[in-house]
Amino acid sequence: MYHYSKGAKTYTKKQRILLFSLRFLAFFLALSLFLMPSIKIKDKEIQKPIILIAQDNSSSILMCKDSTFYKTKFLNEIEEIFKDLKSDYEIKFFRFGNQAKEISNIKEINYKDNTTDMSELLQMVNDNYSNLNLSTLIICSDGIINKGISPLNQIKDFSYPIFTVAMGDTTIKKDISITEIRYNRIAYLNNKFPLEIVVLAQKAKGSNSVLRVMKEGKTLFEEKFSIDNETYSKQFNTILNADKVGIQRYTISVQPVDNEQTTTNNTRDIFVEVLDGRQKVLLLANSPSPDIAAIKQAIENNENYEVESFLFNKFDKKNSLKEYNIAILHQIPSSNPEHRKLIENLTKENIPILYIIGQQTDMPYFNKVQKGLQITQTKSTLNQVTPILNSNFTLFSISTQTQDIINQFPPLQSPFGKYNLSANLQSLMFQKAGTISTDYPLICFSNSNLERTGIIVGEGFWRWRMQNYLINQTHSEADEIINKSIQYLASRVNKSRFRVICNNVFAENEPILMDAELYNESYELVNTPEVKLTITDSKGTKYPFIFSKTINSYHLNAGVFPSGKYTYNASTQFGGSTFTASGVFYVSTQNLEAINFVADHNLLYNISNQSDAKMIYPNQIKQLKDLIKERKDIKPLITQTITNKNLIDQWWYLALIVLLFAAEWFLRKYWGSI
């Protein structure tokens, strides 16, 4: 403050007070930073209520007298209504049918989907928006659901209202249709299989018709019938003979009646895969165990397999094993020396083995007869281990239902010891001991020299089956683990160095997906060369494609094809040789919308009523705006966050200090002191 006392005569009293105040305040604010002061900052965010509008895009919407209205005026009205609400609400559009999808504009609706899956829409909405300010869902539909689960079960725990707009026509028109077909999708050569067909006729009393089952232009079954009621239903039963190996296409048709509204639901195709024989499974146990009955029941539920189970000391076919396609050995090998001869014979006959190991397993000999997994035990004890699914497993896939339930299965009793895994071992599941996750395999597979081996590292599968039933009232998920394992092990190993993997049958709205694999002479996957593929339809039209390369193989999405029979031929060149692969696939017509086109407004009413909302009709669509605005539970979501921030980090605080010093300097200069 020396300057003020020395030059006091230069300033007036008010000037001295102002200059002193500026400098004092600047120094005070600057020195305060040594105390690390902080301030509380409040941030308020306002999230608009989210309104989702989901439009049914299925073809049944247009199977009524108001089809022109639904294609034009109806969509325009929806667009106009929600354009007015955009200032106060966040609006998003969806369509559903074959697939639920968010769209940018309601005009993307074309009513061309041939299935309706409302459950996928509801699941998508709940997964993506339940944690946001979702205020309401509006579903515009005719209520005809032919895919997925019941929406009424799905919305029980939803916390937002679901308004429905009841489209379509509930009037029953004159029509005859094939509503249901029951058949085995797999049959065996020279076996007979049943076929059940349900025909429904509406408003066609007094008419006559004929049901036919045909294959390759030949009539296999025919029955005439008279319709004696306004609502008439009849089940037809016949037995067909599986006389040819491969995918067999059967056409089922019912003769139209006069003045029928549509004939698109009068014909349906089915595809049956005829195999050249069931595979036979040998289930051998060292001693009685509840696992044996559980595994046998799991296999018996799969019509592709025939299973025979024995205790080893009662099995008299040890030297004649050729009739079996796969062997499941429970606690074999044990200390019994005869087990060694059995395994030698199985190996000699190239029969794949699924080992189930436990307390009685002779571990040193087990390590000797297979090289995929080596377990070294210092003492013969068992661990209680629960399963962890390996997300990187690639040998086969299991359903999402099974994936979801695996972590609820009780523990297996698994050998305790040191585990060594070979490079060609793949684990379907790992072991979890208590809370410790390990990379020790629980269920694993190895493929050495094209010989397949499976190992279940633990006993107690019967507990999995029981737990499965307690949770879902079915054994399906536990059974799938056994059956998929057997299917992989028992499938004939394709020793060709070039192969194309493709489904036999695709739905009409399903993309044609293919994979290709190329092996070098050491049977290692390579994908250096280009792989070309040509798809040819029944008219001889060719569609050329080139496979995309993946990490070490190939993949192709050929897009969607119309219904019919197609052949494909793939080729590539590698190491101076040309490799080819060929096959056949079918695209089946799947217009489920044509089976039933009578709108189900009762379903829509129940959806809205259950969610505390309202169902309206298309001519009341303008009421939606008022219905939404009247609801007190549809309002913005205000969130406030409070954060503590150090003043030293605030630019404005530092700027204020600089400004105070600058103001003092400027005034002194202005008043002539500097």
Strand pairing category for 162-166 and 615-616:
parallel
Based on the fold, state whether residues 309 and 444 are members of the same structural domain. yes
Per the domain annotation, does 374 fall within a domain? yes
Per the domain annotation, does 210 fall within a domain? yes
- pLDDT per position as a tens digit, 368-405: 998 889 999 877 888 999 999 998 887 887 888 899 89
Instruction: Say which CATH number the domain at 363 has.
Output: 3.40.50.880
Based on the fold, state whether residues 16 and 139 are members of the same structural domain. no
DSSP sequence for 579-596: EEEEEEEEEE---GGGT-
Q: Domain count of the chain?
A: 5
Report the Cα 518 to chain-centroid distance in Å: 28
Based on the fold, state whether residues 504 and 630 are members of the same structural domain. no
Based on the fold, state whether residues 399 and 473 are members of the same structural domain. yes
Based on the fold, state whether residues 6 and 87 are members of the same structural domain. no
Based on the fold, state whether residues 161 and 241 are members of the same structural domain. no
In the 3-class helix/strand/coil scheme, how is 480-530 assigned residue by residue? HHHHHHHHHHHCCCCCCCEEEEECCEEECCCCCEEEEEEECCCCCEECCCC
Is the pLDDT assigned to residue 463 strictly greater than 60?
yes
In the 3-class helix/strand/coil scheme, how is 161-174 assigned residue by residue? CEEEEECCCCCCCC
Based on the fold, state whether residues 185 and 271 are members of the same structural domain. yes
Based on the fold, state whether residues 363 and 247 are members of the same structural domain. no
Is the pLDDT assigned to residue 7 strictly greater than 50?
no
Per the domain annotation, does 124 fall within a domain? yes
Adjacency order of strands within the sheet including 564-574: 505-507, 577-588, 564-574, 532-536, 542-546
546 pLDDT band, cuts 50/70/90, is very high
Give the structural domain span for 126.
49-170+598-635
- Cα within 13 Å of Cα(338), Cβ side: 12
Is the pLDDT assigned to residue 8 strictly greater than 70?
no
DSSP sequence for 396-462: ----HHHHHHGGGSPPEEEE-SEEEE-TTEEEEEEEEETTEEEEEEEEEEEEETTEEEEEE-SB-HH
pLDDT in the model for residue 618: 93
pLDDT in the model for residue 1: 44
Strand pairing category for 505-507 and 577-588:
parallel
- pLDDT per position as a tens digit, 219-240: 999 999 999 999 999 999 999 9
Mean pLDDT throughout 236-254? 91
Based on the fold, state whether residues 615 and 562 are members of the same structural domain. no
Burial of 99 (0-12, 13-18, 19+ CB in 10 A): middle
pLDDT in the model for residue 592: 74
Per the domain annotation, does 593 fall within a domain? no
